[in-house]
Structure formats: structure tokens, C-alpha cells
Amino acid sequence: MPAKKPAATKPAATQSATSRPAVKKSAAKKPAVKKAVAKKTPATQPAAKKTGAAKESGAAKKTGAAKKTGSAKESGSAKKTGAAKPETHAALVRRARKINRELAETYPYAHPELDFENPFQLILATVMSAQTTDLRVNQTTPALFAKYPTPEDLAAANPEEVEELIRPTGFFRAKTRSIMGLAKALTEDFGGEVPGQLEDLVKLPGVGRKTAFVVLGNAFGRPGITVDTHFGRLVRRWKWTEETDPDKVEKAIGELFPKSEWTMLSHHVIFHGRRICHSRKPACGACPIAPLCPAYGEGETDPEKAKKLLKYEKGGFPGQRLKPPQSYLDAGGIPAPPLGATTTTG
């Protein structure tokens, strides 16, 4: 049974000037949309409804009114013919970029959620984040970083002491072996510095392309796509790709976006996966990109019930935020640039 198409929702507080024409236009089509919903037509675009999520983010400015998209147009023709037309590559690129723009408005404060002050700390934290939450890692790393501030210090550590320090992150013996091996390789092969090149990073023990791109994107300001569990799940839900192998996902998604957008795209998608588009019960009824999502209806579509599924900093999964973090507000709404990123002023 194809999923009902959504009532468009948006975690936006206000409408932006640019969104208004589209909103009005789609609002005018609302009855038709309702009719389509009643018939359970698969790819209809949703009618506008504000959700609690809109108020919570305080960031996005457009409403979730139904908007015309490439897929919307295609679904219109699909309605006429009774058969869904495959999305063209150009339409997919348009839809994907539109989703990213919507997510950028929803999560303008998107950032790596691991705490770090230098590339060495970030690479350790990323390796330790496997099979646990970023919050748990953030609670554990201060003591580790204080005791072993450099790769040389960690490489020479007593493994049992390291195990005790990182025990709360789980798999602590394997992780101790990984981070100590990493520290040793950095010390012996890279002069105690984390290299800033992909080909060097992936040679380090325990460092795959995912970790390498996290480090490149956030500690060196170099574009990278981070294919973690959230990213892979969401891009398949959105039919950006059907690939399951992370390297193939990374390549497929890289072709849809300019390189300069890769790092922030990764943060947006991961933020959305953690807060709204959950693995088992996505909060479709409170989702700002419902009008653009072919998987709308996989989760809860009732706006009130969906709101309860949103993950907040408090009351949701630890460390996961829907509201902008205080540090973002304190900085006047400007996300901190990644370490090493080139910034322009003036």
C-alpha cells in the first residue's frame, strides 16, 4: 500500500519572503491535495500545517506549506497516467538540493557533536564514537585528553589505564587498542601530527573513510561526506541512492552536490536523522521536508503524535538537540567554523 502523502510540516517559526509565492500557490491547491490524500495517491504534495517542531527550532524561516518540486510535478503526471514516472537525474538533483536547503534552515547550527579542540582530539573522539552516543564520548574524553594530550603521550600509555578511562564508551578494550595504535602511527609516521590528506588518514589504524572525512571536514575545513548510520538510512529513504556500501553512498551523493556543500550536508542529514527521521519511528507529521520525501508515511503522520517523537536535548536521547544550542545563540546565531577552515571577513 503506497504511503499517504503528507501534510507539509515545517519546524519554521516564520515565513521568509522568498517562500511566500510558493506557499500561496500550493495553498491554493490544497483541496486537490486533500482529495489525493483521501485516495491515498502516493506522491501527492502535502498541504501546509504548522507543527510544534516549527516553533521549537526557531531557526527555519519558511513554513511547511506544500511547495512545488520536481517530484511534485512528476507525481502530478503520475496521477494522470496512474503510473509513477521515474525521477530524472536532473529532478533528483533539484529535489536533493532543496532538501538540503530546507535542512540548512531547520538546523543552521548543525555542527559536529563531538567535543574537540584539535585534530588529534577529534580523530580520537570519532574512533571512540563507534557503537555509542556522542554525549557519552563527550563525557569521557576530557579526562583522556587531559592525561594524554599528544599522540606521544597516548602511544606510551599503560593500556589498562586507558581502558579504565574510556570504559563508559563500551568496547573499551578494542577501542583502547585502536586509539593507542593510532597514536603510535601518528607518532612514528607523521611526526606526532594528524595528517590533513585523505590518503594519509585512511592508512592510520582504525581510520576508515568516514572518520577521515569527519576529520578533514571539521578539523581541516576540507569538504567531506560522512556516511554514518543516519546518513545512509536517510539518503536511501529519500531515494537519493539505493547503494548500501558507505563508499558507494558517498560517491553517489557526492555527485548530487557541489563539493563545497559536502561537510554541512553531512551535518544537516545527521542532525535530521537524530532528531526527526528516526530509524524505527520517523516523525513524519512534524517533518519540514515531508513534501519532498518519498518515504513520507513510514513513520507517524499525525502531527501531535509526531511531535512527541522529536528528540530534544532534554527528554530525548542524551546529547541530541532540536533547539539551537546555547553556544550558537551566544555567538549571535553564527556557527563556529571548523578548525583550520579558511574564514573571510570584511
Q: Which residues bind ligand SF4 (CB under 6 A)?
A: 237, 276-277, 282-284, 287, 289-290, 293, 295-296, 298-299
Q: In angstroms, how far is CA 256 from the centroid of its own chain?
A: 16
Of 72 and 287, the one with the shorter C-beta distance to ligand SF4 is 287
Of 114 and 284, the one with the shorter C-beta distance to ligand SF4 is 284
CA dihedral 292, 321, 302, 229 (to 10 degrees): 60
Indicate the residue type of 5. Answer: K
Question: Least distance from C-beta 289 to ligand SF4, angstroms?
Answer: 5
The reply to whether 85 belongs to the active site is no
The reply to whether 210 belongs to the active site is yes
List all residues 6 or more positions away from 288 whose beta carbon is below 8 Å from its beta carbon.
Answer: 9, 10, 11, 12, 53, 54, 60, 64, 102, 103, 105, 106, 276
Q: Choose, from 49, 50, 61, 228, the residue flagged as catalytic.
A: 228
* Contact assessment for residue 224 and residue 266, using Cβ atoms and an 8 Å cutoff: yes
Q: Choose, from 49, 61, 67, 210, the residue flagged as catalytic.
A: 210
Of 240 and 262, the one with the shorter C-beta distance to ligand SF4 is 240
Of 179 and 276, the one with the shorter C-beta distance to ligand SF4 is 276
Question: Least distance from C-beta 291 to ligand SF4, angstroms?
Answer: 9
List all residues 6 or more positions away from 281 whose beta carbon is below 8 Å from its beta carbon.
Answer: 299, 300, 309
Indicate the residue type of 342. Answer: T
Indicate the residue type of 276. Answer: I
Question: Least distance from C-beta 342 to ligand SF4, angstroms?
Answer: 32
List all residues 6 or more positions away from 330 whose beta carbon is below 8 Å from its beta carbon.
Answer: none
Question: Least distance from C-beta 299 to ligand SF4, angstroms?
Answer: 5
Of 60 and 125, the one with the shorter C-beta distance to ligand SF4 is 60
Question: Which is nearest to 227 in space by CA: 254, 204, 203, 200?
Answer: 254
Question: Least distance from C-beta 318 to ligand SF4, angstroms?
Answer: 21
Question: Least distance from C-beta 292 to ligand SF4, angstroms?
Answer: 8
Cell numbers linked to 229: 548510520
Instruction: Enumerate the H helices of the chain as residue ranges.
Output: 20-28, 30-39, 52-57, 70-81, 89-106, 119-128, 134-147, 151-155, 159-166, 172-189, 198-201, 209-219, 229-237, 246-254, 262-275, 303-307, 326-330
d(Cα 144, Cα 341) in Å, to the nearest integer? 26
Of 204 and 293, the one with the shorter C-beta distance to ligand SF4 is 293
d(Cα 344, Cα 346) in Å, to the nearest integer? 7
Which residues are the active-site residues?
A: 210, 228
